[in-house]
């Protein structure tokens, strides 16, 4: 059983383990919140941020992917008053992973949701306050303490801040890319995307581990998959264990030195054009319900005064 530092059970006095009062059953609508807004639901469930007192917290962590969750676990376990804020929900990108096999301590692998739920539980156990959805839009470093401002105007005062905001996907610079996002173009390959794509031919774009995992997962669900990789071979960006499995899979075709150069369809994506190298004529493939992972991402830290121009392969 989890006990607080004063020896009492969390919640025994009607307080949240982090010291916060239990949420009232009914709350007033948040400033600017529309009916049905996820923030409003979070508010009713007591998930949105509420200051416990006027004092600054010891540690505010922005982003609750694996990095933010780890920071919260270690901060709270060292006795720091810790809040963890996420714009969307707990888990970050990792929560979209169907199976993570290279995380220390889990030799058989586990789903991203399972991994991040365990971490969230661990952070709560040590008394961290987890809040979402609450997007941080400003970091003020000019005062005696750090001041974070949330999208709804709420301020969070902190003695220290960890930015664990991960990466934001950048789409490919193709006509109609934005139209097909969520209608054939997806940035993850979980059960939901697999159901949406059914047994249609799929194109997975990218040459690193996420693309390899997505290709294997979708192929295991019966879909013929083309893995389109810009580079000359898979080994530059993909772990060896995944390369072996991808190459051996009978339903996966690996197209190296290949780029997506056009998209086609009506309300949803129906075809992608794959162009090998730069000289060869494009080969158009029908790909109804095609899945495409963006190959580039950048840190979403512009609001904190740090440039968000870095790129990373995924």
Name the DSSP letter for residue 100. Answer: B
**Which stretch in 38-46, 95-103, 218-226, 272-280 sits in contact with ligand FAD by CB under 6 A?**
95-103
Q: Nearer Cβ to ligand FAD, position 112 or 265?
A: 112
CB 3, min distance to ligand FAD, A: 29
Supply the angle between the helices 66-77 and 112-125 in degrees, to the nearest 10.
20
Rg (CA), the chain: 22
CB 96, min distance to ligand FAD, A: 4
- Report how many residues bind ligand FAD under the rule CB under 6 A: 31
Are the C-beta atoms of 55 and 155 separated by less than 8 Å?
no
65 contributes a contact to ligand FAD by CB under 6 A:
yes
165 contributes a contact to ligand FAD by CB under 6 A:
yes
Among 88, 157, 172, 174, binds ligand FAD (CB under 6 A): 88
Q: Nearer Cβ to ligand FAD, position 150 or 265?
A: 150
Residue 279 CB neighbour total at 10 angstroms? 6
290 contributes a contact to ligand FAD by CB under 6 A:
no
Binders of ligand FAD among residues 120 to 149 (CB under 6 A) are 135-136
Are the C-beta atoms of 219 and 252 separated by less than 8 Å?
yes
48 contributes a contact to ligand FAD by CB under 6 A:
no
Among 84, 96, 204, 229, binds ligand FAD (CB under 6 A): 96
CB 150, min distance to ligand FAD, A: 8
- The residue assigned the tokens 């962590």 is 61
Cα gap 75→272, rounded to integer Å? 46
What does the buried/exposed string (b/e) look like for 150-164 if buried means 16 or more CB atoms within 10 Å of the residue's CB?
bebebebbbeebbbb
Among 63, 127, 201, 206, binds ligand FAD (CB under 6 A): 63
237 contributes a contact to ligand FAD by CB under 6 A:
no
Among 64, 131, 259, 271, binds ligand FAD (CB under 6 A): 64
Q: Nearer Cβ to ligand FAD, position 116 or 258?
A: 116
- Alpha helix ranges (H) inside the chain: 38-45, 66-77, 112-125, 177-180, 191-197, 209-220, 240-248
Across the chain, the runs of DSSP E, i.e. the strands, are: 57-62, 82-85, 129-131, 136-140, 146-150, 155-163, 168-170, 202-205, 225-228, 252-255, 258-265, 269-276, 283-286, 296-298, 312-313
Q: Report the interface residues with ligand FAD, using CB under 6 A.
A: 62-68, 85-88, 92-94, 96-97, 100, 102, 135-136, 164-167, 188-189, 209-210, 213, 300, 303
């Amino acid at each position: 059983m989890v006990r607080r530092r004063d020896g009492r059970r969390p919640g025994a006095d009607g307080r949240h383990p982090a010291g916060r009062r239990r949420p009232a059953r009914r709350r007033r609508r948040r400033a600017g919140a529309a009916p049905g807004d996820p923030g409003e639901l979070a508010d009713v469930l007591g998930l949105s941020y509420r200051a416990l007192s006027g004092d600054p917290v010891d540690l505010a962590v922005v982003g609750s992917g694996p990095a933010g969750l780890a920071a919260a676990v270690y901060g709270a376990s060292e006795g720091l008053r810790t809040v963890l804020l996420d714009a969307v929900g707990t888990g970050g990108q990792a929560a979209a992973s169907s199976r993570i096999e290279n995380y220390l301590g889990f030799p058989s692998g586990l789903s991203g949701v399972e991994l991040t739920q365990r971490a969230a539980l661990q952070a709560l156990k040590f008394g961290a306050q987890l809040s979402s959805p609450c997007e941080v839009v400003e970091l003020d470093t000019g005062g005696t303490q750090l001041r974070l401002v949330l999208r709804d105007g709420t301020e969070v005062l902190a003695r220290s801040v960890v930015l664990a905001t991960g990466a934001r996907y950048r789409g490919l610079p193709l006509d109609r890319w934005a139209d097909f996002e969520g209608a054939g173009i997806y940035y993850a390959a979980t059960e939901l995307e697999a159901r949406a794509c059914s047994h249609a031919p799929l194109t997975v774009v990218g040459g690193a581990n996420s693309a390899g995992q997505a290709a294997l997962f979708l192929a295991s669900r019966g879909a013929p998959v083309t893995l389109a990789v810009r580079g000359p071979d898979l080994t530059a960006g993909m772990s060896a264990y995944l390369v072996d499995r991808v190459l051996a899979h009978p339903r996966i075709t690996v197209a190296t030195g290949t780029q997506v150069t056009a998209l086609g369809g009506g309300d949803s994506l129906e075809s992608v054009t794959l162009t090998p190298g730069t000289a060869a004529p494009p080969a158009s493939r029908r790909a109804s319900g095609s899945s495409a992972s963006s190959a580039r991402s950048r840190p979403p830290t512009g609001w904190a005064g740090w440039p968000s121009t870095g790129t990373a392969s995924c």
